[in-house]
Amino acid sequence: MTLLSVPVSEIFFSYQGEGIYAGQPQVFVRFAGCNLRCRYCDTPSTQEIKTNHVRLGATQLLNQIRALAQKHFIGPLRVFPPMVSFTGGEPLLHAAMLRALLPALKKEKFLVYLETNGTLPGNYATVARWVDIVAMDIKLPSACGKNCWSAHSRFLSAARRKAFVKIIVTRGTRNSEIVRAAKLVAGISHKIPVILQPVTPSKVCPAPVHGQSGAWLAVAGSYLKDVRVVPQLHKLWHVR
Ligand code: SF4
């Protein structure tokens, strides 16, 4: 273990609320700091590193993850392998910490789930060997104001065997963006699961209107084998 420390927003146990692993118990480690500023961001307090973000080293992180796993993966939940989700913010901004921490977690048989905005393929390459599942976003320019297509393509090419893709769709999503995203994924493998996630609405980012998501599902489905519309379920369950 090193003297390295990283800003952490929270560490907690809950159930995954997004994507194809929704409903599975996980320990969540939410790092602070992000390289994007999505309009719909539901964790805006993690975009910038602030003084209220506690800095933790690898040993402290490992101890807290281990303690939560020992507390919650018991009784009926024993049937689930302990899984730890690294989220943010953008966890790959802290790749050095992940390199320090993940080998120890793998030694203790944790499944490692990485939730990422899919824009830092170089950083991903340095931790990929310890990651089991990649939940990779494709960020649409209409909601993020940035063109991430090239980075997404390189990232998904590297993570293809471990990844599913999540695309957050809003009222302002353009049909052409769905086509471009679906073609990007299909160009790597049309079997990679893709989730269209209607944004949880806010004042700055309204949800798609009736019929939009279904139309995008049909568009994406013409390129992809496994595409579904799934909202953020933890918001419906009222859990973190
Ligand atoms: S990438 Fe994630 S954490 Fe960063 S601004 Fe976008 S939604 Fe928020």
Mutational pocket test of ligand 1: of 9, 28, 47, 204, the residue with most ligand atoms within 8 Å of the beta carbon: 47
Distance CA 123, CA 125 (A): 5
Q: How many other C-beta atoms can be found within 10 angstroms of the C-beta atom of residue 227?
A: 24
Task: Give CA–CA dist 85/113, Å, rounded.
Answer: 5
Give residue ranges with CB within 6 A of ligand 1: 34, 36-38, 41, 43, 46-47, 88-90, 117
Rounded to the nearest whole angstrom, what is the distance from the C-alpha of residue 76 to the centroid of ligand 1? 34
Q: One digit per residue, pLDDT tens: the chain, 240 residues?
A: 558 999 999 999 999 999 999 999 999 999 999 999 999 998 999 999 999 999 999 999 999 999 999 999 999 899 999 999 999 999 999 999 999 999 999 999 999 999 999 999 999 999 999 999 999 999 999 999 999 999 999 999 999 999 999 999 999 999 999 999 999 999 999 999 999 999 998 988 999 998 999 999 999 999 999 999 998 888 888 878
- Going from the Cα of 33 to the center of ligand 1, the distance in angstroms, rounded, reads 9
Atom of ligand 1 lying closest to residue 40 CA: 7
Confidence (pLDDT) at 233? 87
- For residue 239, the model assigns a pLDDT of 79
Q: Give the nearest ligand 1 atom to 35 CA.
A: 4
Q: How far is the CA of 29 from the centre of ligand 1 (A)?
A: 15
Range of the domain at 18: 5-237
The answer to whether 155 touches 124, Cβ cutoff 8 Å, is: yes
Q: 123 C-alpha to center of ligand 1: Å?
A: 17
Ligand 1: residue of 36, 85, 144, 205 to mutate (most ligand atoms within 8 A of CB) is 36
Cα distances (Å, whole numbers) of residue 201 to 85, 155, 166, 197, 204: 24, 28, 17, 11, 8
Whichever domain contains 127, its CATH number is 3.20.20.70
Question: Which residue minimizes the CA distance to atom 7 of ligand 1?
Answer: 41
Q: How far is CA 152 from the centre of its chain?
A: 13
Residue 97 to residue 2: CA distance in whole angstroms: 9
Residue nearest to atom 3 of ligand 1 (CA): 89
Counting ligand 1 atoms within 8 A of each CB, the residue from 117, 120, 137, 138 with the most, and so the one to mutate, is 117
- This prediction's pTM: 0.96
Domain count, the chain: 1
The answer to whether 102 and 10 have CB atoms below 8 angstroms apart is no
47 alpha carbon – ligand 1 mean position (Å): 7
Nearest atom in ligand 1 to the alpha carbon of residue 117 is 1
pLDDT of residue 2: 56
